[in-house]
Structures are given as C-alpha cells and as structure tokens.
C-alpha cells in the first residue's frame, strides 16, 4: 500500500481539562445514543449521508478530536500525559498499515479509506480547550482554507460545545468577561445567542466548500459525569481515591497541571449537587436544540441558492455551493455512559477504547439495548434527565453520519 497522506494540525493544547468526556459505553458492538426532546422524536429518523465516497476530510472540535489523555494512566501516580495524543483520535487517527484493518482506534479517516479503497488526506483543525463561542469560526476558516485545495468529495466533521458548559465559573452568579457573550446568571457559560451566532458563522464558511459533506455531532450530556463521582481511581497501596477526589484536587493549587478552572467545576463542585446537574442539563438542552435547528435550516437551502441573511446574528447571505450536504447525528449525544469509559487521568476525557466507540457510533449509528441504553427524558426534571435515569432499551436505531 502506498504511503498515507495525513496532515495533522498541532495547535496549542489550551486548558488542560478543556472538554468533557463524551462518555460512551461498551465495547465494539453497535449501540445507540440520543433521545431528542419531547415532541422532537422525528429527529431519530434523520437520514445519514447518501454516499460514503470521500477523498479528503477535516475535523473541527476540541480535546475530544485531539484525543487528550487518551493513552491513559493514573492521576495520582503521575503516569498521565496531560497532552494531546492524536494517534487515538476518533476522527483522524491513522495507525493502520493496511486498508480495512481495524486498529485500537479505527477512526473516521480509516473507515472512509476502507470504504473508498484509497488513502485520504486529513486535517485536524481541533484545539484542546476550544469552545463554540471563541473558536468555531476560526477553525471553520482554517478547515475551509485547507480542504478547498484537496480532492473532492470532501468531509468536514464538527463537534464543539462541551467547553461552553465546562469552562464556566464555579459560582452560578458571577461577573463575566465579556458580559456580552457570557451569562452572569449561569456560571458565565456561553449565552445561547452567542452560541448560535458562532455556529451560524462557522456554517456560513463551510457551506461555501463545493462537493462537501458537513457532519455535525450533537454534544454529549455532560451532566452524566455526576453519575460517577465514586469511581475508584488507583492512587497507591494505602489509599482509595475517587473521581470526586480527582475533581476536588483539580480545583486546588496542588494540581498545578491545570490552567484556569478545574475539571468542569461548574458541574462537579459541591459533590455534583442536584442544582449543578439541573443547570448543566438545561444549558446542554438549549445548545442541542440550537445545533439541530440551525443544521436543519442550512440543510434545507438548495445547492447554488443563497443562505438567507439573518440580521439579528449578522450571518447568512452566502451562496451554498454545489454538492453540499449538511447533516447532524445524535449518536453520541444521549447515550448513558458507564464509569469505565472515563479514564483515570482526569475522570473526564475518553480512553482510547472509548475514542474507538465514538468513531464507530458516529459513523454507523447505534441501537438502544439493555447493554447500550439511551437516555429517555421523562417529565420535566432536569436532574433525572441530566443523569439519564430513564432509558430506552427497545432496539430503536439512532443514525450516525454515514
């Protein structure tokens, strides 16, 4: 086989614990994620892309796509990388020596190479610590500038938004800078308006790329971290430590490996209180609904037509290029993940095996079973729904992107 052409952007790490773990459970079998909000069940039937024919790809994202800490280790024993490890990336990892041979993380790049029986060029524009508010547009510009010079058809994977929740302050009511884009009544998290504006700006760039497939992955239900504060983390022969111990330690000066806030401390502080779970879930739900609604809006614009100008956001008024498809997937957004999918380095990011599951589920979709349950929102309780206390296990299928 000829040499694979892979280009990986080595952008700065950003904050050490920038992106929450998209916790996805179990092994290699097909599973299902995602239950839309009440009244939106039709989104489960969203179609995947019509063809797997691809020649180049780029990814827009955060530490999930950069596979931060995915190599594993033990937080208290100093064996964690605390760095990007892109050889485990669900999106662009390329460790195969032979086409169609799965390695520990069988990425979208490798899966598409197998489907097309050829090597793909790939660009990982993701940056650990990135959020929708500050980084979506910049990454979209970088991805567009790179991929328009590569062969078509083109694929752009998009997964951002977790840090807009997890980079919030520890205190709910705070003075935010800048106050124009951060909510002083919600831990200084990204305001819904700012989140939507920057997502629209990013899509304005991407839909101008001819013959491209833009796949938007709906972000993970981050409040599920609070199902696992008691997970045991090996900290030596004489002590038992838990994920809550790791999270608490990360908020102190002792944990000098951290920059800025601890590990999603707006959620994990105060022993993951119900109030914090409820506030995080409400924010997650608002972001999810924005991603689905705006993706559908851009998908409905005909090729060669103008995306309507949107005066409140200052977006639109661009021409959607020929051959552009825009699609979202909830395949990782509502899965009830287990403690084994959260690696011990930070009780936050996914392990290499979990990166493989993310790739598989976003690519092929998932099926809700007793082993791979999907979150089922019942009533209006943000605590119950934030912790995914009720599930679907009836075999329903939630599509991936492909």
Contacts of 253 (CB under 8 A, 6+ apart): none
pLDDT in tens, 154-170: 999 999 999 999 999 99
Task: Report the number of secondary-structure helices (H) and strands (E) in the chain.
Answer: 10, 16
* 277 assigned to some structural domain: yes
Give the mean pLDDT of 173-194: 96
Assigned token pair, 19: 């992106």
* 80 assigned to some structural domain: yes
Residue 112 pLDDT: 97
Range of the structural domain that residue 88 is part of: 7-367
Between the alpha carbon of residue 98 and those of residues 8, 102, 338, the distances in Å are: 20, 9, 32
* 387 assigned to some structural domain: no
The domain tally of the chain equals 1
Please determine, for residue 256, whether its predicted confidence score (pLDDT) is greater than 80: no
pTM for the whole structure: 0.87
Whether 265 contacts 281, CB under 8 Å: no
Q: CA-CA distance, 53 to 86, in Å (whole number)?
A: 24
* 75 assigned to some structural domain: yes
Between the alpha carbon of residue 165 and those of residues 238, 269, 347, the distances in Å are: 36, 14, 17
- Say which CATH number the domain at 211 has: 3.40.50.1110
* 68 assigned to some structural domain: yes
Tell me the sheet residues that pair with 242: 232
Residue 146 pLDDT: 98
pLDDT in tens, 58-70: 999 999 999 999 9
pLDDT in tens, 289-315: 999 999 999 999 999 999 999 999 999
Q: CA-CA distance, 258 to 215, in Å (whole number)?
A: 32
Name residue, tokens 């179990």. 26
Whether 13 contacts 341, CB under 8 Å: no
What is the average pLDDT score of the chain? Answer: 86
* 278 assigned to some structural domain: yes
Please determine, for residue 2, whether its predicted confidence score (pLDDT) is greater than 70: no
Whether 283 contacts 219, CB under 8 Å: no
* 379 assigned to some structural domain: no
- Helices 352-364 and 108-116: angle between axes, nearest 10 degrees: 50
Tell me the sheet residues that pair with 318: 307
Task: Please give the full DSSP string across 154-197, using - where no structure is assigned.
Answer: EEEEE---HHHHHTS-SSSS---SSTTTEETTTTTEEPHHHHHH
Give the mean pLDDT of 187-216: 98
* 377 assigned to some structural domain: no
């Amino acid at each position: 086989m000829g040499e694979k052409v892979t280009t990986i952007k080595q952008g700065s790490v950003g904050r050490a614990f920038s992106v929450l773990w998209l916790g996805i459970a179990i092994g290699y079998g097909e599973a299902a994620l995602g239950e839309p909000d009440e009244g939106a069940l039709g989104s489960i039937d969203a179609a995947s892309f019509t063809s797997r024919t691809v020649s180049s790809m780029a990814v827009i994202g955060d530490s999930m796509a950069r596979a931060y800490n995915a190599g594993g280790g033990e937080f208290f024993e100093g064996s964690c990388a605390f760095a990007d490890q892109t050889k485990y990336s669900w999106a662009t990892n390329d460790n195969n020596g032979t086409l169609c041979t799965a390695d520990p993380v069988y990425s979208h790049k490798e899966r598409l190479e197998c489907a097309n029986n050829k090597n793909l060029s790939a660009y990982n524009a993701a940056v650990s610590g990135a959020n929708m508010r500050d980084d979506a547009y910049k990454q979209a510009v970088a991805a567009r500038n790179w991929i328009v010079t590569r062969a078509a058809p083109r694929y752009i994977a998009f997964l951002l938004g977790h840090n807009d929740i997890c980079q919030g302050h520890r205190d709910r009511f705070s003075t935010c800078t800048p106050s124009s884009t951060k909510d002083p009544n919600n831990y200084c998290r990204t305001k819904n308006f700012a989140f939507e504006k920057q997502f629209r700006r990013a899509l304005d760039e991407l839909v101008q790329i001819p013959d491209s497939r833009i796949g938007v992955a709906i972000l993970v239900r981050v409040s599920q971290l609070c199902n696992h504060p008691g997970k045991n983390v090996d900290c030596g022969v004489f002590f038992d430590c838990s994920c809550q111990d790791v999270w608490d330690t990360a908020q102190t000066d002792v944990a000098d490996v951290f920059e800025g806030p601890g590990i999603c401390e707006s959620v994990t502080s105060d022993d993951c209180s119900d109030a914090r779970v409820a506030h995080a879930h409400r924010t997650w739900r608002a972001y999810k609904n924005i991603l689905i609604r705006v993706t559908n809006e851009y998908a409905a614009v005909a090729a060669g037509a103008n995306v309507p100008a949107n005066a409140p956001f200052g977006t639109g008024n661009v021409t959607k290029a020929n051959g552009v498809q825009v699609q979202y997937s909830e395949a990782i957004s509502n899965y009830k993940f287990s403690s084994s999918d959260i690696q011990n380095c930070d009780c936050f990011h996914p392990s290499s095996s979990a990166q493989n599951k993310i790739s598989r589920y976003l690519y092929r979709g998932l099926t809700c079973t007793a082993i791979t349950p999907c979150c089922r929102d019942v009533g209006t309780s943000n605590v119950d729904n934030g912790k995914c206390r009720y599930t679907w296990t009836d075999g329903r299928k939630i599509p991936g992107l492909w």
